[in-house]
Structure 1
Amino acid sequence: MTTTERIARILVWCTAGATVLFLMTPLFVAVAVSFGSSAVFTLPAPSWSLRWYEALGRSRELWSVVGTSVQIAFLSTLIALVLGTLAAIGLLRGEFRARESIVTFLVSPLMLPGLVVGIAMLEAYRAAGLTNVWTSLLVAHVVITLPYVVRTVYASLALFDFTLIDAARTLGLSYPRAVAKVLVPSLAPAFVTSGMFAFLASMDNYPISIFFTDAWTKTLPIQMLQMVEESPDPTIAAVSTLLILLAAAVLVIGDRMVGLRRMADL
């Protein structure tokens, strides 16, 4: 390795390290503030305390919002897994033109600004006469989570050999059992990966959810925004820390079940 190559490698690693530090610093600050005893955002903290986590445990309103967010995220992820898998199979196995255009359309919510999608869906709901807040949130979050499933399952299906299903049928299995025994296990990593990211995307969504909430039905990000506006204290940092732990737990579970390298390949 020449001197120039060594210098280039050092510069690359230094740039990568500085980028990671820049991106992770707000997370470290939020975690540190959540363990401080001060009633305002202060670093370094005068002393360390769990008072803000204890405040979370006593907040019935906050836990009600968390329950709503978890319900919406779980149901939207489940619906997206079913619809996205069927759509991916139809797109891959069907014989029609503009297949790639349809795939791009299905994943387009990931490419468009959330506010644009939210305004468009608000107008669509108004035209359709959909006024129920909970149902509106659920449908909106299905739109949010569907692209993760379609993109991941479609890529996984492209690598699957469908003649294996025919081989299973020649051994006496019915078509549904052949799909359950052969196709589903092969797609399990795609289901796990897309389901985890879809769940996190739903739990963390703000720009679309804000159009479909009211005073009685809110998601966690909307409640956190309200807390910042009305009573900004380190309770918000405690909630943020728990969300960081949730994301870390999802990554650990994904690593155990699928593997981070395989998740990245999907």
Structure 2
Amino acid sequence: MKRTLSVLYIVFMCSPLLIVVGAAFEPQEILRFPPHGFSLTWFGRVVQDPAFLDAAANSLVIALLATALSVVFGLLAAYALARGSGRYREAILGLLLSPLIIPELVIGLALLQMLTLMNIGTDLLTLVLAHTVICLPYTVRLLFNGVSAISESLENASLLLGASRSGTIVRVTLPLMKSSILAAALFAFLTSFDNTVISLFLVDTSTMTLPITIYNYVEFSLDPAIAALSTILILLSCVAVSVMSRVAGLDNMGPRK
């Protein structure tokens, strides 16, 4: 019975993806499933469309920069909180994780109002900083768990043998946190690359991201181009997760018995 329920759950969760992938091969200019034929026309149109290519490049740059910032800041905060003993540690950790419980619509509107009051225009930098805000909770949570899982005795042994605090972090702590760091980077990258709500408030014609371009496209067209683009993104995400899992051993991050 449990196996049957598990199979039904998997089918239910994957069915929207299967419909999107199937609709991408529709030869006619109408988005429908099942497709009435087989064609790769829409894949070719997507990879040759300058609007999609420019938006994908913007999203990639923003996601990479936001990932780098959120991992660096998250690592500093996570180490300080995990190794600290202050009575405000839980309060600070809750503050860093608060973007998870605040609707992105509220965050985006607040950022736009703040930039307007400060007379700062929206550009690539403001988008990167905004995406860093929403990526930081994921990196802090994952890296905090990663630091907490490392026994302080290993760091103390390194210090007793003459290593400096910074040398201990670089040679002992960070190598032991490789899986946590890569997992945090993957979560941050996907969160930034797929973000729509906050980007909707802060993009302009020069910083249009891929999710916003897709959103604008489906307002005026219902051809299978979006299904083809979604299929490409699904494939790239699966490849990225698979590679990260093999390289970093993300499937072995759970607590050891």
TM class, shorter-length: over 0.9
Counterpart for residue 187 of structure 2 = 197
Q: Quote the residue 1:118 is aligned against.
A: 108
Aligned to 1:65: 55
Q: Does 1:47 align with 2:37?
A: yes
Which residue pairs with 2:69 in the alignment? 79
Deviations 1:179-225 (A, max 9, x none): 21101101111101010011011111111111101223211110000
CA–CA distance in 2 between the matches of 1:245 and 1:129?
A: 41
Aligned match for 1:103, one of 90, 93, 107: 93
For 2:65, the aligned partner's letter is L
Structure 1 residue 264, shift from structure 2 partner: 5.7
How far the C-alpha of 1:172 sits from its partner, in A, is 4.1
TM score, norm. by length of structure 1: 0.89
Contact 1:145/1:202, CA 8 A, preserved across alignment:
yes
Pairing 1:164–2:154 present: yes
245-254 or 148-157: bigger deviation: 245-254
Residue in 2 aligned with 1:180? 170
Corresponding residue number in structure 2 for 1:143 = 133
CA deviations 1:234-262 (Å, max 9, x no partner) are 11011111111122112202220233433
What CA distance in whole angstroms lies between the structure 1 residues aligned with 2:223 and 2:237?
Answer: 23
| Aligned 8 A contact 1:80 1:142 in 2 | yes
Aligned residue number for residue 7 of structure 1: none
RMSD of aligned alpha carbons = 1.9
2:237 counterpart residue number: 247
Cα distance in 2 between the residues matched to 1:13 and 1:119: 45
Unaligned 5+ residue runs, structure 2?
none
Q: How many residues align?
A: 256
C-alpha distance in 2 between matches for 1:264 and 1:128: 45
Identical positions, percent: 34
Supply the distance in 1 between the matched residues of 2:254 and 2:213 (Cα, whole angstroms).
32
Identify the match of residue 33 of structure 1 among 3, 23, 40.
23
Q: Is the 8 A contact 1:193 1:263 kept in 2?
A: no
Check if 1:213 corresponds to 2:213. no
TM-score by length of 2: 0.92
Paired letter, 1:85: L
Q: Which is further off, 33-42 or 161-170?
A: 161-170
Change (3 A) 1:263 1:118: farther
CA-to-aligned-CA distance 1:79-125 (integer Å, 9 cap, x gap): 10100000111212233222112212211212222212212222222
SS of equivalent residue, structure 2 residue 177:
helix
User: Which residue in 2 is equivalent to 1:224?
Assistant: 214
CA 1:253 to 1:88, structure 2 compared with 1: closer, same or farther past 3 Å? same
CA distance in 2: counterparts of 1:126 and 1:96, whole angstroms:
37
Whole-Å separation in 2 of the counterparts to 1:128 and 1:99: 31
2:188 and 2:255 mapped to 1: Cα distance? Answer: 17
Single out whichever of 156-165 and 168-177 deviates more from structure 2: 168-177
